[in-house]
Each structure stands twice: as C-alpha cells, then as structure tokens.
Amino acid sequence: SGYFMLKYYRFFTKSQPLLLLSHMRSYSSLLGHILGSNPHIDGYYEMHRHYFSTKSLYASKMQYLMKHRPANESCFFFDKLLHNHLIISSDFAKLAGLKLIIMVREPQSAVNSIIKMAMERSFSSELERGEMAERYYLERLSALIEYSHRFKGEYFYIDSEELVDNTNETLDRLSGFLNLSKNLQPKFQKFHHTSQSKFGDTSGNLDAGQVINVKQSTTLHEINSATSQDYCNAILTLRNNSINRT
C-alpha cells in the first residue's frame, strides 16, 4: 500500500470525494459512467463502503486502484451509496472539498425495475416481491430526505427522468456545480466493470456508450397510492434543500 501511496500521491491527496446518494435502479450507473468518462473524475461504480473518515476514502481509492489507473487531471473520486446500511459520518461530512449529488427516480418505474433486476439474478432475493421492493424504495427515500436536511444548500439534486429526458441541460448544470473545465458529455466510455454483476446496471444498456431512454413494457407491481404521495412530498423537500433549487 505504501508503494501505491507514493506512486499515486496526487490521487490520494488531491482528488476530492464526489458522492452520489440515490437508490437502486435510479440511472445511477448511467450517471456514474458519464461522470467517470470526464477527464477530471475517477470512479464510476458502487464501492459498497462506509465513509467515516479520510481513512475510508483512502480505502476506497486503494480498492479502485486494484483494477484502474487514475486520470492525470483527476480532481474528484466518485462513489455512490444506494443502501441505508452504508453511511456518511458527520466527521466525513466536514471534509473540505466533499461534493454531493442526490438523485431520485419516480417510484412506479424504479420499483418495477428493482423487481426485474431481482428476478434476473442467479440467486433468490426478497426484492422479487413487489411489496419488499416498494419498502426498500420508501426506506431509502426517507434516508435521502434526512441527508437533504443534513446537507441543506450543499448538494446538487437531480430527478432521474431529467438525466434521460433533458440530458444536455442537466449535465451542463451539474458541470457548473462541480466547476469542471470540461463539461460532462452524454456519450461515455465502457469500463472494466461495465454491465458486470455487482457493479451496477447489467441490462446491457450501458454498452451503447450513450444515453438511451428505454421505456418499460410491463408492470410487475402496482405501487401503493401512498407511495406516490410520499414521493411527491419527498422531491419537494429534496429540491428545496438543494443548492440548485428552482
């Protein structure tokens, strides 16, 4: 590890954390690929790590270096947190240079996509059941609202639908938030873990290397009307607490 620290000293000391707080099937893999294709950003997939301190960040960077080499112009190191058991501590939140994005997809599409993903896995998952997928979504939504209060006025909020329906404008605004000298682009690279199991979207959509809007053809579970209302209330809060509130 000492060798890596010396060889990639700039990556370990200068590359600031850029964290996406979201939920499964939110187009987070798509956003990760877009971000990771920018010359100023390293990382594109979920590291499945807590963030307690600088040590946590170093551990994630070390994990990343096992398969990848950092960009020469890297300013940010990207990771995403999609589950409530992975947390950002208050100590880590005080780190200078930390950038946060919160992104949420509307529940009917998200929950159906979660069920479909669970059904396609090689192992059994409780998320194959609609009510469990819906519960995961609601519990994650609640956690994202808590984060929005903790980081009020500091994070950039994205409606997932805007990423695919209004891509260029969304990416331009996000580029401004990150103060990138080269704006984010809708076309992106294919990486070592692209479309692999345990590393995000395995549908094959990412292999296109560009944003494509795939409409779902079947409804596997009809969400509760209360979930729709919770979502509507949540996005009002998430938008109002964001730095890019409109």
- 122-131, Cβ contacts within 8 angstroms, sequence gap of 24 or more: 130/220, 130/221, 130/222, 130/223, 131/221
For the segment 152-173, the average pLDDT, to the nearest whole number, is 97
Residue 82 CB contacts under 8 Å (≥ 6 apart), including other chains: 22, 23, 24, 26, 28, 46, 140
Residue 199 CB contacts under 8 Å (≥ 6 apart), including other chains: 45, 46, 193
What pLDDT, on the 0 to 100 scale, is given for residue 222? 93
What pLDDT, on the 0 to 100 scale, is given for residue 207? 77
Report helix, strand and coil shares of the chain as percent, to nearest 5.
45, 10, 40
- Kindly report which listed range (20-34, 70-84, 169-183, 210-224) carries the lowest average pLDDT score: 210-224
Contact 46, 80 (CB under 8 A): yes
Question: Containing H/E element for 158?
Answer: strand 156-159
The overall average pLDDT reported for the chain is: 91
- Output Rg (C-alpha) for the chain, integer angstroms: 17
Specify which residues 174 forms β-bridges with.
none
What pLDDT, on the 0 to 100 scale, is given for residue 198? 61
Instruction: Read off the pLDDT of residues 61-115 as tens digits, 9 standing for 90 and up.
Output: 999 999 899 988 889 999 999 999 999 998 999 888 999 999 999 999 999 999 9
Specify which residues 77 forms β-bridges with.
17, 42
pTM value? 0.94
Specify which residues 16 forms β-bridges with.
76
